[in-house]
Amino acid sequence: MITKKDIHFSVAIYSSDEELPRGDADLLAAARAVTKLAYAPYSHFLVGAVAALANGKTVTGTNQENASYPVGICAERVLLSSVASQYPGVAVNTIAISYDNIDGQSDHPISPCGICRQSLAEYEERVKQPIRLIMSGMKGEVYILEKAGQLLPLSFSASDLG
Ligand code: THU
């Protein structure tokens, strides 16, 4: 017998940051601001992320590249590592992600790469709370997703290790 399971999620699309609720607009502004702290001399693609934690703190992360290219780390995983090191066990309510592209445009949202999706999904499981994602470039549309793990359906997780 074959059964089919539909997997879907919704993303809210705002035409600009001006339509966002105040708290989300502030978090996105902070993410846009920290992009300038990224170390991206090879790709010239600077990514900034800011997390609003359940304890009221905010934590930032930026991509950190390396002359040995695969050693580089995305902003999202720099951020999550910092959160987990400074505030272990504390839930992340929302992460705003932005970027600046020195060689191109920054006018549409980007969403986390595959490895970062895996890390985000594990953090949600670890603290048993979904992470909202706010994604946008320096200008233009803003995507809001209510649960980061939705970006990685049928994901491998700790429960699979039995
Ligand atoms: N990058 C991130 O930091 N986050 C993403 O969501 C996508 C890509 C970084 C990795 C690399 O330093 C640069 O952007 C270009 O891929």
**Chain segment 70-118, per-residue pLDDT in tens:** 999 999 999 999 999 999 999 999 999 999 999 999 999 999 999 999 9
Structural domain boundaries enclosing 18: 12-152
99 lines ligand 1 (CB under 6 A): no
What's the half-sphere exposure (Cβ side, CA atoms, 13 Å) at 34?
25
Strands across the sheet with 58-62, in order? 12-14, 142-145, 132-136, 92-101, 45-53, 58-62
β-strand 45-53 against 12-14: which pairing, if any?
unpaired
**pTM (predicted TM-score):** 0.97
What pLDDT is attached to residue 95? 99
Q: Is residue 134 part of a domain?
A: yes
Output DSSP code: residue 73: B
Q: Is residue 101 part of a domain?
A: yes
Per residue in 133-157, pLDDT (tens digit) is 999 999 999 999 999 999 999 999 9
- What CATH number is attached to the domain comprising 57? 3.40.140.10
Instruction: Report the number of distinct structural domains present in the chain.
Output: 1
Q: Is residue 1 part of a domain?
A: no
What pLDDT is attached to residue 15? 98
Q: Is residue 21 part of a domain?
A: yes
What pLDDT is attached to residue 44? 98
Q: Is residue 127 part of a domain?
A: yes
Which residue's alpha carbon is at the smallest distance from atom 13 of ligand 1? 45
Ligand 1 atom showing the smallest separation from residue 78 Cα: 3
110 lines ligand 1 (CB under 6 A): yes
Q: Is residue 159 part of a domain?
A: no
Q: Is 76 a catalytic residue?
A: yes
Residue holding tokens 């994901």? 155
**Contact (Cβ atoms closer than 8 angstroms) between residue 49 and residue 62:** yes
CA–centroid distance for 90 within its chain: 17
What pLDDT is attached to residue 154? 96
User: How sure is the predictor about 21, in pLDDT bands with cuts at 50, 70 and 90?
Assistant: very high
Q: Is residue 81 part of a domain?
A: yes
Which residue's alpha carbon is at the smallest distance from atom 11 of ligand 1? 74
Which residue's alpha carbon is at the smallest distance from atom 1 of ligand 1? 74
**Residue of 18, 65, 76, 124 marked catalytic:** 76
Q: Is residue 47 part of a domain?
A: yes
Distance 3 CA to ligand 1 centre (A): 37
Report how far apart, in Å, the C-alpha atoms of 74 and of each of 7, 20, 43 are: 27, 26, 12
Distance 96 CA to ligand 1 centre (A): 14
Angle, CA of 47, 119 and 48, to the nearest 5° = 15
- Distinct helix (H) and strand (E) counts, the chain: 3, 6
